[in-house]
Each structure stands twice: as C-alpha cells, then as structure tokens.
Structure 1
Amino acid sequence: MNAIGLPQEQATILANSLNNLLANFQIYYQNLRGLHWNIKGRRFFELHVKFEELYTDAQLKIDMIAERILTLGETPFHTFESYLSKNTLPIGENVFEDEDAVKLILQCLQGLLILERQTIKLASEIDDEGTTTLISDLISEQEKNIWMFHAWIA
C-alpha cells in the first residue's frame, strides 16, 4: 500500500495515466496561449478574453493533476520533451481565424475527455475517490464547454 492506502502497483499505473493527461493538458494550455495571442478578426475581443479565461483555468487544472500524481507517490512530468512525447492532441500552430480556433479547442477537449475517461476507470477500479472526484469534475466542465463551443459554431 502507498501512503494514502492504495495498492502501490495500481496507484503507479494510475499515476502514469494522470501523467499522460498532464502532458496533454500542457499542450492544450499552450494551444490556448497561442490562440489568445494570435486571434484576429471581428470576434477578436470576445475570443481573446475567452481564451485567456480558458488558459488560466487550464493552468489551475494542470497544477491539480500534478499534485494528485504527487499524492499517489509518483513524479509528475515537468519537461517539454515529456509533454510532447505523450501528447495525442493536435498542436495549433499559426491558427488565426475564429472558427479554426474554436475547432482546435473542441478537438483538444474531446481528446482530453478520452484520456480522462480512461483515467477515471483506473481510479474507480482501486476505489481512489480523490482521483475519481478530480477527474469527474474535469469531465463535467469539459462536456459543458464542448456543448457551448458547438453552439457557438452553429
């Protein structure tokens, strides 16, 4: 058992899943920063503010995920090399147009959901309520954001 009473081997597997999520969240965060800096057009003011809101929120979530990995007794990824090697999300380079930006965010959120659902399953299997709650909250918020961005595009 680890320090918080979870089976060590399964906690390590769960921490690895959280590290994959962390790496992908870092790419999502960087995509948002780039969108915030580079957005152009008539919806500039609306989206510039929204992207800042999203990257500020992503930064908090990154910290929560990293701290959960530490709580499980493992080390969170903390290099760009690790982030890129584990990333499964699209990387938005030179995205300037509003609809392209929102579509990139949607792709990222959908990719994060896949990883989160894999992670919550692992957490549930070992009765890890702390990780389950963290990931459940992420999923709920991201599903709402997906709905809102789909409404925006429509």
Structure 2
Amino acid sequence: METTVLGLDKIKTANLVTELNGLLANFQVYYQNARGLHWNIKGKNFFELHAKFEEFYTDAQEKVDLIAERILTLQGTPLHTFEDYISVAKVPVGKGISDDVEAVQLIVASLSELLKIERVILELADQADDEGTNSMMSDFIAEQEKTLWMMNAWLG
C-alpha cells in the first residue's frame, strides 16, 4: 500500500479529498444562503432570525476554512470557484427569501443535506483510519444535529 506523508492510504485519501471538496462546495452555498437570509429576512421574527442567520453564516465561514485546510493537510487542492461550487453542490439555493418560515425551511433542508455528506465522509474517514477528518466530521455532525432539532422546533 502506498501511503501519504500522514501515513494514510493514498487512494483512500484521494477519495476523501473528493468528498471533502463536495462538502466545501455545499458549505459555500449554505454560507451564501445564510448570508442572503440575514440580509433579506422580514416580519415579526426579524430581530431573532437576523441574528440567528448571522450566527449561521459566521459558523459556516469558519467551517469552510477548516474543510479547505483539511483538504490541504491531506495533500489535496480545495475547490475555490463559484463555478465549481455550483456544479458540485446539492444544498438548495435560496433566492429572494424574506419569509421567516421559508427561510428556516431552507436552513433545515441545507443542514439535512450537509449531514448526509458528512456521514459519508465520516464512514470513508473511518475506513481510511483518518482520525483528523473523522474528528472534524463528528464535531460538525453533533453541532448540526442540535441546530436541526432547534430549527424544527421553531417550525413547530
């Protein structure tokens, strides 16, 4: 077996890099969605959701950097163009959303999609004995599951 500088199987690592780039693309779309919701939200829940969406996009921005740095650590190249993001992303794109319920539903749909991708990466990282990626995905999943529960509770 040929290994990377980290001692990981090169083929399994290359597969992880591909999946991490997919996650990166999806997080970039999620980030932009949260940013747009923050800017455009209206109604009686404006103050509550305006602040919450800022929290979401700030968190997403940090995760984007963590994912890109993990890709680099695994000796890959992070995707970095909007063209790449749109061609790879599965997270729904929210455009012109100002309604509170529709906005929260977009967050729920986005987090659900991110969790699916993260679970695939978690499994691949486990198979590759890649504890760094495994740990990152475990942290992301735990946090996003809680956020998803809260957003669904908000929706009633």
Q: Same fold (TM over 0.5)?
A: yes
Aligned to 1:6: 8
Aligned to 1:89: 91
1:111 maps onto 2:113 in alignment:
yes
**Which AA in structure 2 matches 1:150?**
N
What's the TM-score, normalizing by structure 1?
Answer: 0.99
Structure 2 gap ranges (5+): none
After TM superposition, the runs of 4+ consecutive aligned structure 1 residues lying more than 3 A away are: none
Aligned pairs for 1:1-154 (under 5 A) are: 1-154=3-156
CA offsets, 1:44-74, max 9 Å, x none?
Answer: 1110001001100100001000000000000
Partners of 1:3 and 1:49 lie apart in 2 by: 42
What's the TM-score, normalizing by structure 2?
Answer: 0.98
What SS is found at the alignment partner of 1:152?
Answer: helix
Partners of 1:150 and 1:84 lie apart in 2 by: 27
CA offsets, 1:11-54, max 9 Å, x none?
Answer: 01101000000000000000000000000001111100010011
**Percent identity of paired positions between Structure 1 and Structure 2:** 56
